[in-house]
Structure 1
């Protein structure tokens, strides 16, 4: 890794020397954002945030939120079993299909609360804003840990615009085609835009069982939008989009820690024993083994209508309505071997309708204000089935009555409806030209009705997509093995809260300001989609709240050639909603509990230097101190469960008070530099290099030392040559050039204590890219 670091530092130093030979006429680019629902320069917004332009994301081959997160300190996104892990500042919801994420995604103002709901959002975007910390006032739902705010490109009323991009990535054998075109139908009045993307990932992990490569993912996406300028101040935008993703083995896990270390029994069983008997390697690398038939399918559509009155000479009005539909299905083999010992499937169907109406003060008004109302209604159905073929050999003696129903499975289902209403407002009063105070308040109410069921069943296919429930008389007997109680449970959750916020901002000049901010946050309670026991009190969990404090500085220095932003934060979470893994000798399942408290505090720094039009360099750095204040009922690690069983303890818990949550490294950051140089009257050379790094962290909530991710560094490099006016460009894009192995998730392997099924994130990628702009 030292050689990679030296390479990056050398490129920065070389670029700095070259920069001295050209006039220092450049300034750090200012990006206009809408983090407070009005257009502002990013340096004017009193929020710790990062904004990235869509064109930059295209050039760097950023295809999804997971890819984006690797370059952002204090931000982590990784796939897990029934949902993804999304964390900012050590705050996230973990893996449970019933969760709305604590870190929410909004696309053109529309809430995407499910982690699988936003896999194809980075297509033809104008920018992405990553907002750290609770976003209470300006966003519609549940953004208690932070938010990704995606703004897609709008149709151009005056000109024919667009682009085409084609690339091929050699390691994963992935072609990508992306294009967009915007055309004025009636110049100045009506315009349309069409954008689409197609990719076909061949896989970057070799499956030793099938001889194929996993995951194989074919992704198709199409968006149509139209803009109608109804009057000088009034406009209407409609948007319709559709995405479909078909994949083989999208959740491609690998068997690791086999044989397991002490205190586990060296006489390994099932998966680990099979791997040892067949000489299957179990190192964390880009190789795995599984049975055939793993699939993943995602289909999503969304329709949006936005009517807007500009506030340039009067009150601004925005009326936004949306309807979304999302279907997801996954079948996965997580025992880590070719033999069929354990597998699962999960499916989700979601329909969501939202509406928002807001009013903003005229731009010329001394008193700036925004107020409005928000409505959300959703219906979701979540099904999960765990399959236990390994238990076939245990169906003897008292359990012999279950033999005709082998292989056994446990089937769970949650049907949920939610209606959420909120009213919000914020007022900014300027005491002087330099000092201003913003106070805000949001009232939110969420009502959810849920019906959840579980049963022991016979799996009619290898992944239990179709099951037949066992006779009632055999349910208690099957429960001994699976842990599933046959049950039907109903519950309602009704939560509301008033959420105040206050921000004091002082501007020393147009280029230097400081702020201090307080806000409260709220995330509604809900239902545990994979509750096994049927105990009514275990189905629901309570709301999560936070008191958050932040002070910050935003500045442009040295004739605006340097931008320097600094934020220090402290957030105190109460009743944090946390997934808890519970392990038994024959099963491993996830439940939900409320943690007594979480305290997260730290510092985030961003420095960018633009000494010339040809050279740019920057550093992003984050320090995080995050720990549980009161978490005495955490799930046990596999080793603790074994020890508890040996001591005759039926329910194993551990105290994690004072321990850090998952995905919370002490240090994280990146260093980046870019350089461009004309090589003729018509051609220009471009080079970009970045080094992202992170300290160690755990990927599991139970803090198992066997699931600790070591510190990592990712080196990315882009070299391009193209038209000096930016009309076209041909580039090489290399990411994770040192081929770092980063664990995205780790799941206990059922019936092989101490072994884990781990996902390894994509390694080195080497791609060529061609981009063409219409104008």
Structure 2
């Protein structure tokens, strides 16, 4: 009943918005929004796609610094930061945690594919706009955009000199954000633009172990763009950028320590704190209060991009070329037991290089047949390595001995020991695409398109153990079994962590696909456009980076190590190659102009059927295994609108209803306390019929912007947003203990500006309702190991609390 009422209220709000806008007789007109959602400049109201647009002004006014903070303003879109990466979700679909994945949501920076989740952390700065396209975008955007696409469009060099300086300061987290933009002509026919940003933050979490605030952030960004009119018909643009973003600490904490209720069971933090107490070390408090006990995390990232774009305008046709190189380097250290106990350290290094070339030809609009097509090529190289280190002063030896008196020989090897994984992946892809629109008459259009893709990948992975002296331990050449007379081996030590050694394994794949689209559009009248779209898309298969075991259960398998010591089986079977993911989408929509252009109302009703969803599942100890999750159906309704109520007041609203169902998911990791029930996958759970994580049933955003002159030289500006999100699960185990309650977040801004907008001073209030939102989390690593499977605790990344910043803008 509760959810039905919320849906009723949402429908009522839409009805009031539409009725109010229709009744308006004001001469106010909304400013037209131009997008490139179909790789050509068009009015948003002419595009048959569910699109949300966040303008440069909104990004600045709301203090949005990255895609994660931007996603709060777009229903059915979320980005959530984790300990080592990001999850990017549209309409409930995301790829999970694994460097072997490219995202189901394609990110594009000035048309260049940003398929790696790490690239979502690049600061948002000096953009024209961000377009979020929901639903399969497999033809014009192409690569792997099976759930949707996020298109970031940079601001371009201007014909006249202009510049701006922006400074923001927020005292609670000691956030300082400085931005400078200079743009204008350099010589006749040559224009330039320089964008520089420097941002620092001390954080809003208290780390009691290190006695400091976290997450400490240092970000810098510089971009230079040159635009050259080569001839009257040929223009060229060269963009070079570098972003650095370094962090210390995380906004995460351990909480909710529980046991399974059976005789002899014990919760995780009781065991952990018992060991801590024995050593005279601080205890982990286990509360959800933005206070964490942790020994420190660091991350250093550098992203570089060079993009050369050339356009040649012919009569009725434009030919364009986009050549781009993208690369990044990341080094990170994670205290990934997420507690103040000295248990283990995890580190990783990731290096990525990408080259792409696209040639595109685009007809002018208004002919009987409009078309766009081209060729695309991309090559990439990924090198990834990570390690788990057992510190010399760590508690692992004590924990092992507590499991069984027979464990002494294993425990003796732990101080200073380490295990390391190396992964390499090379990829080459080429594609050809064409989309043709037949303008049947002035009111009716039919679009047909397709994209043919051929992608090859080669990958390798190995796992090596090391002694405390740093000497590599050769992997067994034959499967090893537990020898109770010789427990003191590194295979048995790391077998307790479900990590097994193996020599290099290799794989390759060649994946081809054809993705079609058919769209019909009907201008029912001058104010209403209706459309219907059917499309199919895919995301290519690949190779698992982060599994801690060999995919062949008979290779080097440590049988029953934990069974001897803790009463449970420890069969180690990893994963390596995973299959392609496919989607088929039907979408019906409408773009409506109301009250003589004073208002707009857009609707999209959709249904997508996914097969072989690619998911990454925590193995319950330290690793993640990739699997294809069977089938899922996603369907729902999206609504957005704007209304210029008066010359001074503009309202905007958007909302989404999302229905997600795993039609077939027999191979999911079980939640804590859930008995394995999968008939075909021993030890796993059948989650068919359940919702995926990050799939709130309802979301909506309502905003208002008002500005008016209060004197001859001053303007007062007021803005407010209310963002509502229904409850959802935030862990891939679908554990009910990881349910985030529904939240309502209020953001507001008040500004005083010079009438010609030369300067502006503003107060920005973010999360004024002080909502506590758990963005990501799951089972605390090693909780099950320390409790012999009888207990657990959870960790979560928590959002920023209420904060108020002062912002100063100066334009020249």
TM-score under structure 1 length normalisation: 0.91
Offset at residue 608 of structure 1 (A): 1.4
Q: Deviations over 1:643-698 (max 9, x none)?
A: 669xxx99521111111111001001111111112110110000000110111111
Give runs of aligned pairs for residues 162-241 of structure 1, distance below 5 A.
162-187=163-188, 189-241=189-241
CA distance in 2, matches of 1:578, 1:165: 41
CA distance in 2, matches of 1:272, 1:85: 32
CA distance in 1, matches of 2:364, 2:242: 36
Aligned match of 2:538 in 513, 519, 522? 522
Secondary structure at the counterpart of residue 491 of structure 2: helix
Secondary structure at the counterpart of residue 635 of structure 1: coil
Q: Which residue of 2 aligns with 1:723?
A: 754
Offset at residue 347 of structure 1 (A): 2.1
CA distance in 2, matches of 1:663, 1:451: 32
CA distance in 2, matches of 1:699, 1:355: 37
2:313 is equivalent to residue 310 of structure 1: yes
Structure 2 unpaired stretches of 5+: 1-20, 477-488, 553-573, 784-790
2:583 is equivalent to residue 546 of structure 1: yes
Give runs of aligned pairs for residues 335-734 of structure 1, distance below 5 A.
335-388=337-390, 389-393=394-398, 394=400, 397=406, 400=409, 403-458=412-467, 468-472=471-475, 474-487=489-502, 488-535=504-551, 538-583=575-620, 587-640=621-674, 652-734=683-765
Give runs of aligned pairs for residues 751-766 of structure 1, distance below 5 A.
751-752=782-783, 753-766=791-804
Alpha-carbon distance change, 144 to 233 in structure 1, aligned in 2, over 3 angstroms: same
Q: Deviations over 1:268-303 (max 9, x none)?
A: 4543546899564322221111114x2111111110
Structure 1 unpaired stretches of 5+: 1-18, 461-466
Contact 2:259 2:267 in 1 (8 A): no
CA distance in 2, matches of 1:761, 1:361: 46
CA distance in 2, matches of 1:42, 1:519: 20
Aligned match of 1:283 in 284, 287, 290? 287
Secondary structure at the counterpart of residue 629 of structure 2: strand
Alpha-carbon distance change, 445 to 259 in structure 1, aligned in 2, over 3 angstroms: same
Q: Deviations over 1:499-550 (max 9, x none)?
A: 1100000012343100000011110100100122222593100000100110
CA distance in 2, matches of 1:58, 1:310: 34
Q: Deviations over 1:107-162 (max 9, x none)?
A: 00111111111322411001110000111111141111111100001111x20022
Offset at residue 339 of structure 1 (A): 2.0
Secondary structure at the counterpart of residue 478 of structure 1: helix
2:257 is equivalent to residue 258 of structure 1: yes
Offset at residue 494 of structure 1 (A): 1.4
CA distance in 2, matches of 1:603, 1:352: 36
Q: Which residue of 2 aligns with 1:110?
A: 112
Alpha-carbon distance change, 712 to 409 in structure 1, aligned in 2, over 3 angstroms: farther
Contact 2:341 2:395 in 1 (8 A): no
Offset at residue 37 of structure 1 (A): 0.6
Give runs of aligned pairs for residues 42-191 of structure 1, distance below 5 A.
42-156=44-158, 158-187=159-188, 189-191=189-191
CA distance in 1, matches of 2:57, 2:209: 41
Q: Which residue of 2 aligns with 1:464?
A: none
Alpha-carbon distance change, 468 to 505 in structure 1, aligned in 2, over 3 angstroms: farther
Alpha-carbon distance change, 227 to 531 in structure 1, aligned in 2, over 3 angstroms: same
Offset at residue 713 of structure 1 (A): 1.0
CA distance in 2, matches of 1:668, 1:458: 52
Which stretch shifts more, 192-201 or 395-404?
395-404
Offset at residue 164 of structure 1 (A): 1.0
Contact 2:88 2:95 in 1 (8 A): yes
TM-score under structure 2 length normalisation: 0.87
Name the Cα RMSD after superposition.
2.3
Contact 2:730 2:778 in 1 (8 A): no
CA distance in 2, matches of 1:272, 1:549: 53
Q: Deviations over 1:472-509 (max 9, x none)?
A: 46353234312122112100021110111000000123
CA distance in 2, matches of 1:435, 1:348: 50
Offset at residue 373 of structure 1 (A): 0.7
